[in-house]
Amino acid sequence: MQPSDHKLIRIGVFYDGNFLWHVSNYYAYNHPKQSRISIPGLHTFVRHRVAELESTDVRYCQIVDAHYFRGRVRAQEAENKLLLNERIFDEVLMREGVTTHYLPLGPEGEKGIDVWLALEAYELAIYKHFDVMVLVACDGDFLPLVRKLNTLGTRVMLLGWDFKYTDRNGRERETKTAQFLLDEASYPLMMHQIIDDRSLRNDPIINGLFIPPKEFSVRAIVAQSNGVSVPESTQQQGRIQSLKQGYGFIAPNNGGLNLFFFHGETMNADFSELNIGDLVEYDLAQNDRGPCAVRVRVLDETLST
């Protein structure tokens, strides 16, 4: 292709935030990668893969718009560390030029987010004339959006994931991307296959999809931002005494005051899978309010007896 034939490929990226969070948790806690998805790395991957599929140079493939949609806890119900953690992730999105769209979570969880994403994506495709729209989602409810984009001549790249894992209660969980969504997309990509492809294990673009280990710990970022001090050799055990929206308290086995812990501190299980009475191991730390628990790990009591 001659330089004069090059045409800028305008890319729009739309994230189903809850799906991305679920995928990121899977790689952080249930996959050998043991790391979260990197937003900058994902954008780099998208640009290179679009360039390959569109048979052009990556310099002519630019993300001109990106949007992230998710429900989240109402401000009056959120604890300070939860608000801080959300602020940190907001700054990651901001640095990558991603516009955020949030709705407060209701008693039944997320309501209206998928519809909002679909309407916004379709409207922006009309007004901004994306050549390729990247949809990070798995829900079949987005099928009408994909079909509408096809009528506009906008090519759809779908980033989907299929994976299974066993939670700490021995129950098998599964996430699967809707097949008819894959069938309608111009460029369907099954990301779990790409990531697990051994022939790509040294590919810097694929490895760049994950946050480097030294940057992975959200706890470390929160600690630096909130003055949390974690001394060496502080492992203790206790039982979960109570669970709230995004945080909980642990009753130490050796007595004393209950210790606060933030949902981002759970290391080997999702916070949503915890139960009151669970035996846990944790590191004792200190924040501006006093002692707290960090790096909380659920223990298998059958192995502890």
Q: So what's the pLDDT on residue 47?
A: 98
Domains of the chain (ranges plus CATH)?
3-216 (3.40.50.1010), 232-304 (2.40.50.140)
Give bridge partners of residue 251 from the DSSP assignment. Answer: 239
Q: So what's the pLDDT on residue 6?
A: 72
Query: Percentages helix, strand, coil for the chain, rounded to the nearest 5?
Result: 40, 30, 30
Q: Taking residues 157-183, what's their average pLDDT?
A: 87
Q: In the chain, which ranges are continuous DSSP H helix? A: 17-29, 39-53, 80-95, 113-128, 143-152, 179-184, 191-196, 204-207, 213-216, 218-226, 301-304
Q: Poorest-confidence range of 70-84, 141-155, 254-268? A: 70-84
Task: Tell me the DSSP string of 1-23.
Answer: --GGG---EEEEEEEEHHHHHHH
Cβ partners under 8 Å of residue 140, min gap 6: 178, 180, 181
Q: Taking residues 108-116, what's their average pLDDT?
A: 81
Q: So what's the pLDDT on residue 169?
A: 56
Confidence of residue 225 (pLDDT cuts 50, 70, 90): very low
Q: So what's the pLDDT on residue 256?
A: 80
Confidence of residue 233 (pLDDT cuts 50, 70, 90): very low
Most trustworthy range by pLDDT among 101-115, 186-200, 221-235: 186-200
Task: Give the model confidence (pLDDT) of 186-222 as tens digits.
Answer: 999 999 999 999 999 999 999 999 988 655 444 444 4
Q: Taking residues 115-132, what's their average pLDDT?
A: 97
Q: So what's the pLDDT on residue 167?
A: 60
Most trustworthy range by pLDDT among 20-29, 46-55, 99-108, 271-280: 46-55
Looking up tokens 């309608």 gives 184
* Higher per-residue pLDDT: 83 or 190: 190
Give bridge partners of residue 166 from the DSSP assignment. Answer: 172
Q: So what's the pLDDT on residue 17?
A: 93
Q: Taking residues 136-159, what's their average pLDDT?
A: 97
pLDDT(229) > 60: no
Rounded mean pLDDT of the chain?
Answer: 85
SS3 280: strand
